[in-house]
Amino acid sequence: MKSIFSKILAKISLPFLAFALAIFSGGILIAFSDRTVLPLIGSPWKFFTAAVHSAGNAYLALFQGSIFDSNLAKNGSFLKGFYPLTESLLIAAPLILAGLSVALAFKAGLFNIGAQGQFIFGAIGASYIGFAYELPPILHVLLALITAMVFSAIWGGFVGLLKAKTGAHEVIVTIMLNYVASFFLLWLLKTKVFLRPRAINPLAPPVHDSAKLPQFLGSDIRLNIGIFLALIAAYFVWWILNRSTWGFRFRAVGANAAAARTAGISVAFVTTAVMSISGALAGLGGAVQTLGSQFELTPDVAGSFGFDAITVALLGRANPVGTVFAAILFGALRAGGLTMQANTQNPVDIVLVIQALIVLFISAPALVKYIFRLKGLKGGASVASKGWNG
Amino acid sequence: MTQVEVLGLSAPERRRKRGILAMSILSILGLLFFALLPKMNEVTTFGFVMDKEWVFLHEWAVHSKSGSLLFSTISIIAVIGAYLLFRARKTIRIATSIFSISLFMSFLCWAARGKFIPFTGLLQGGLMLSVPLIFGAMAGVVSERSGVINIAIEGQLLFGAFASGVLASLTHQKWLGLLVAPIAGVLVSLLLATFAIKFGIDQVILGFVLNVLVIGITGFLYQRLLVPYQSTWNSGSGLTPIAIPILSKIPLVGPILFEQTIIVYLMYLIVTTINIALFKSKWGLRMRAVGEHPTAAESVGINVNKIRFRNVVLGGAIAGLGGAYFTLGAVGTFSRQMTAGAGFIALAALIFGKWSPMGAVAAALIFGFASNVESVLSIIGTPIPSEFMLMVPYVATVIAVSGIVGRVRAPAADGIPYKRGDSH
């Protein structure tokens, strides 16, 4: 028993310390940009309490916006206080899916920066089926999700195929294709098929009610079955990687492509397959976002999901379970960040800073060890470095 | 790589042949769709005068169909020329340039039929959009040629823009803003260098995270300080252009190249220096050595990581200075995420230009020009959706890295951390 406990502790201590450091650094930024704090620098104690007060208030608002709000609990039942948590999970669902997309590719030695573009294609597919057809409820949702996955699997698989056939580096190709996808979406939304009648800005018609993901906590709470889809996908990725022959091949290619080739594994096939599945996962994220909370296709449907997905996968150390928790954490930061912005005038951008710092600290265990004077902290880069030509 | 060689052609020759095939298809399509098929009876007018330069030609009005036909024919002749040169095993670069320019002119005659095109303005706007791309690409060259991938160009540009705008506004001294911009870029690149070289972290991940960090910090401070206290924090003004006597009077190119702010002149200096130094100096030779074969460099007593560290920091300074172009080079004020992906287009230019300084400059100019043509055409109205024209740099880069026509290759050790004793 003790060994399991210490194993878990070893696994989570680095992320936890990285999180603490990031929150601390973010707090410094908040305090120092507060115009009421800085003039007190002459008297250290006053300055210190004001700084703690400023950062504390911001983080309290962050907590209230992401997990539990006692004001909501006072008015109704205690459980109602957890409404912010359901909002965090609502944001987390597409983030989990997009994060899994990046994580799976990592395990096969591919750096999928293209989750953004794949997310967009998923959103396009889901939105089109959602508004253009009228179908019975469950069938409609299923068809929309499948279309989204097919679209994005093709878009993602193309990158894998290109890498397999020509050696084009997936990082370069996916960075470029993200822009192509954004412009394609912008153009598509201006075409007759997608432009909502009488709309001035590029905007698709709303999806039919039958295509919306069902909510399961009553009509007041927006959380929907998307979160379960995300958890199922996480299990699926875990199963593929750890229990299937395919996953073994994926990991073999990721660990050492040359050795895998010698062992008779088709690296070209694996690359294409991994990128297709990755694409489908990110596309499913786009579908969950479109059918679960946005309900209409807009030019910035993907927001920063595709890029947050990378930080999520890195924080989750490219492991499905870790990715789920990382996505929930980042979902909470995002939901709370909005409340923080409204209540304390601290812009939501602080969340980006915290996210970036977490990942920076996570990927440099040596630094965290140095700061906390720790020995034997488990960790290290979960992804091996390789060059443009590799 | 291991395929049987067809007709005794080497791999690069086969790619060049495919390139010529692609060019011939494009030129025939151009002839069909820009000249032969459309029914045009209007006139396309090109304007060549901008300002006070000596006038050589005011404007040129051409019947759209004949103009398009003329340029399409030239492009076809250029393709034939390219093929003949290829057969004679000579370089086809000049023929390719003539081909692209004439095809583009043919496109303009068609797209702007019945309209007026300010040709000088087109070039000038193109250069304006290219300047930050060139700075970014140069930052990429010095960093990646020494073996460290620099995806943080975007962050370095953005931080340079932020720091220069804010400091110039706070102190009312533009030169202080100009001075702090490279320092801001260096701060970002110090993080990149420390984590990549000291800790050996994956450089793509690192660059990516640094971009997010800079976008977050500048966005936060912008909303927190620059918006509410605009009069002190964000009220700088742009640098005034300096016209170089005589040179700025040259028809067509004079006002474009020689009536610019000091930032652009610094850019000329940086590009020239890097291009010469990379291939002709000890510094350049060592940089290329540690980027291509660090073990060999180490064996002759070169400190690989020291050289890499210095180059990454230098790259940061260059990109940071380029960032000042967004603020001081324009109206002087900073706005949220004002670099808008320029760092990534610069990365594309670097790759498209095969990691060589002049190649990257050429690619940056083409990309800047393409996006300016897009904006000009979308103002005067054009049959092509602007989104497709905006895709050009990105699609071109994908085609370049996939080696369908031509092929790009990164420095061999680019992105691989060097540890003494490792053999690569």
pLDDT digits (tens, 9 = 90+) for B323-344: 999 999 988 899 988 998 899 8
Are B205 and A180 inside 8 Å of each other by CB? no
Query: Which residues span the domain enclosing A113?
Result: 90-327
- Residues B107 and B140 both lie in one domain: no
What is the pLDDT confidence band of residue B226, given thresholds at 50, 70 and 90? very high
Q: What letter represents residue A344's amino acid?
A: T
- Residues B295 and B397 both lie in one domain: yes
Q: Does residue A42 sit within a domain?
A: no
DSSP string across A170-236: HHHHHHHHHHHHHHHHHHHTTSTTTSPTT-SSS-PPPPPGGGSPPBSS-TT---BTHHHHHHHHHHH
Q: Does residue A242 sit within a domain?
A: yes
pLDDT at B129 over 60: yes
**pLDDT tens, B173-215?**
899 999 999 999 999 999 999 989 988 888 888 998 999 999 9
Q: Does residue B414 sit within a domain?
A: no
Query: How many angstroms away from the CA of A176 is the closest CA of chain B?
Result: 5
The mean pLDDT of B291-299, rounded to a whole number, is 92
Among B52, B87, B114, identify where a domain stops: B114
A378: contact with B, CB 8 A cutoff: no
Determine the residue of chain A that is closest to B342 in CA distance.
Answer: A179
Are A168 and B409 inside 8 Å of each other by CB? no
Query: How many angstroms away from the CA of A113 is the closest CA of chain B?
Result: 9
Which of A56-60, A200-204, B95-99, B419-423 is predicted with the least confidence, judged by mean pLDDT? B419-423
Among B114, B140, B158, identify where a domain stops: B114
Residues of A in contact with B403 (CB under 8 A): 166-168
- Residues B345 and B366 both lie in one domain: yes
Mutate which: A352, A368, A383, vs B, most B CBs within 10 A: A352
The mean pLDDT of A244-273, rounded to a whole number, is 92
ipTM: 0.89
Q: Does residue B408 sit within a domain?
A: no
Task: Classify residue B38 by its DSSP letter.
Answer: S
A23: contact with B, CB 8 A cutoff: no
Q: Does residue A379 sit within a domain?
A: no
pTM here is 0.89
Residue of higher predicted confidence among B349 and A3: B349
Q: Does residue B5 sit within a domain?
A: no
**pLDDT tens, A74-97?**
876 788 889 999 999 999 999 999
- Residues B159 and B302 both lie in one domain: yes
Among B114, B141, B172, identify where a domain stops: B114
Determine the residue of chain A that is closest to B195 in CA distance.
Answer: A364
Distance spanning both ends of chain A, measured CA to CA = 42
Q: How many domains does chain A have?
A: 1
Q: What was the pLDDT predicted at B50?
A: 67
Q: What was the pLDDT predicted at B56?
A: 67
Residues of B in contact with A110 (CB under 8 A): none
pLDDT at A148 over 90: yes
A62: contact with B, CB 8 A cutoff: no
- Residues B83 and B232 both lie in one domain: no
Query: Which residues span the domain enclosing B300?
Result: 120-402
- Residues B199 and B346 both lie in one domain: yes
- Residues B84 and B134 both lie in one domain: no
Determine the residue of chain B that is closest to A190 in CA distance.
Answer: B385
B 20-79 residues inside an 8 A Cβ radius of A: none
Q: Does residue A230 sit within a domain?
A: yes
What is the pLDDT confidence band of residue B424, given thresholds at 50, 70 and 90? very low
Q: Does residue A334 sit within a domain?
A: no
Residue of higher predicted confidence among B111 and A30: A30
Nearest by CB to residue A314, choosing from B203, B205, B394, is: B205
Are A357 and B213 inside 8 Å of each other by CB? yes
Q: Does residue B1 sit within a domain?
A: no
Q: What was the pLDDT predicted at A130?
A: 96
B199: contact with A, CB 8 A cutoff: yes
- Residues B95 and B125 both lie in one domain: no
Q: Where residue B308 sits, what CATH number does that domain have?
A: 1.10.3470
What is the pLDDT confidence band of residue A376, given thresholds at 50, 70 and 90? low
- Residues B22 and B55 both lie in one domain: yes
- Residues B319 and B186 both lie in one domain: yes
Q: How many domains does chain B have?
A: 2
Are B414 and A389 inside 8 Å of each other by CB? yes
Residues of A in contact with B2 (CB under 8 A): none
Distances (CA, A) of A168 to A171, B192, B242: 9, 25, 43
Per-residue H/E/C for B180-213 = HHHHHHHHHHHHHHHHHHHCCCCHHHHHHHHHHH
Q: What letter represents residue A99's amino acid?
A: G
The mean pLDDT of A356-384, rounded to a whole number, is 70
Q: Does residue A269 sit within a domain?
A: yes
Contacts from A9-15 at CB under 8 Å and sequence distance 24+?
A10/A377, A10/A378, A11/A378, A13/A377, A13/A378, A14/A362, A14/A365, A14/A368, A14/A377, A14/A378, A14/A379, A15/A315, A15/A322, A15/A326, A15/A358, A15/A362
**pLDDT tens, B384-407?**
788 888 888 888 888 878 876 556
Q: What was the pLDDT predicted at A100?
A: 97
- Residues B69 and B134 both lie in one domain: no
- Residues B168 and B197 both lie in one domain: yes
Are A168 and B401 inside 8 Å of each other by CB? yes
Mutate which: A34, A179, A338, vs B, most B CBs within 10 A: A179
Residue of higher predicted confidence among A286 and A38: A286
Query: How many angstroms away from the CA of B246 is the closest CA of chain A?
Result: 42
What is the pLDDT confidence band of residue A380, given thresholds at 50, 70 and 90? very low
B 227-256 residues inside an 8 A Cβ radius of A: 229
* Mean of the per-residue pLDDT values of chain B: 87
pLDDT at A382 over 60: no
Residue of higher predicted confidence among B404 and B124: B124
